[in-house]
Amino acid sequence: MTEERTPPANDDELDADDVRNDPVPIHPDDPQPGEDDASTSPEPPTEGADQ
Amino acid sequence: MTDCATYRVPFASQLKQGGQTGRFDCTAWATSRAIARATCGKKVPSGRTIRLHSSEAIPDPDSPGLNLFQVAAVAENDYGVYFEIFTGAKALPFAGYEQRRIDGRPGVIQVGYGPIADTKLDAGRGFRDNHAIYEDNFETIESLADGRAPGVWKFDGRLYPRSVMKAAAAKLWTGSHYTGLGHVWCMFARDVIPDYRARVPAGSYLAYQISGAHVVMRRTRRTGGFSGACTPPRHFLWGSRTVTLVQMLSGAKAGQWISHNYAMEG
């Protein structure tokens, strides 16, 4: 019985579904993002009100 | 109460509304739109909230985006919205993607942006890489399409041409190859969490030991073959690697975590 405590370099079971989006480039004339309320609030902001 | 059959999901801009991680968060924003539709507008989280509640609140500098399993976990744990994920060997043919979308199921599709950038719908300002987009039976919400500069497409409620979306789905880069025409990596919300069963054939298999969201170790085990009920697939980190696993719920192997490749619905 083989025991592995670190992931092997080549293994079909690893990373098989880990496809992530890429960063979008920012241009100098892009609008600045809104204030990041989440960084100062214990509860992250929720967009829109519950209905 | 909002009627879900006619509810239109509001547009949101990942760059204008996304805070400090906005440029990394298209998958989170697309998922936020899908949660809005799945809850008929009762819950409309921001993509920033999805990011902060994910297993990677601070983006990994080497790979700052999110994958579908990460955002689906937030949707289920925080909003009670279950997503069925179709990636890798379980990717959908484009017809299967369309069938679910037309049925009104909120979906997130992973694409390569090039085929969209080559049309008047371009909102990337040179961006052609992996992207995630929300779609349903009414509309395509592409979170870059905010008209922020001349030449940047502005959301107008339309559904993007199916030929463009099919081409974009084929251009998703998996790290070793493009998905190819007819293969759609995506996820769709589902009202009922399906039952899953795993079947492991005779021979050897890998059993993982889990702690929280992380793999601690794994062992190679031998079996004469077994099957039983299991959980839906879940995503785990192992150092800098990731793996998708299910946990056996019945039988002699109950409690063991094994690859989701052994599992299927039903």
| Interface probe with B: pick from A2, A3, A18, A40, most Cβ of B within 10 Å | A18
- Across the interface, whether the CB atoms of B52 and A44 are under 8 A apart is answered yes
Cα distance from A41 to chain B (closest Cα, Å)? 12
| Range list of β-strands (E), B28-89 | 82-86
Q: What 3-state DSSP class applies to B243? A: strand
> pLDDT category, B142, cuts 50, 70, 90?
very high
Which residue is closest to B178 within chain A, CA to CA?
A19
- Residue the block writes with tokens 């697309």: B30
Cα distance from A30 to chain B (closest Cα, Å)? 7
Q: Which of B23, B53, B68 shows the shortest C-beta gap to A23?
A: B23
Contacts of B62 (CB under 8 A, 6+ apart): B240
Q: What is the predicted ipTM?
A: 0.86
Mean pLDDT of chain B: 95
Tens digit of pLDDT for each residue in B10-38? 999 999 999 999 999 999 999 999 999 99
Q: How far apart are CA B204 and CA B192, in angstroms?
A: 33
Q: How far apart are CA A1 and CA B220, in angstroms?
A: 5
- Across the interface, whether the CB atoms of A47 and B32 are under 8 A apart is answered yes
Cα distance from B165 to chain A (closest Cα, Å)? 16
- pLDDT of residue A43 exceeding 90, the answer is no
Tokens standing for B31? Answer: 């998922």
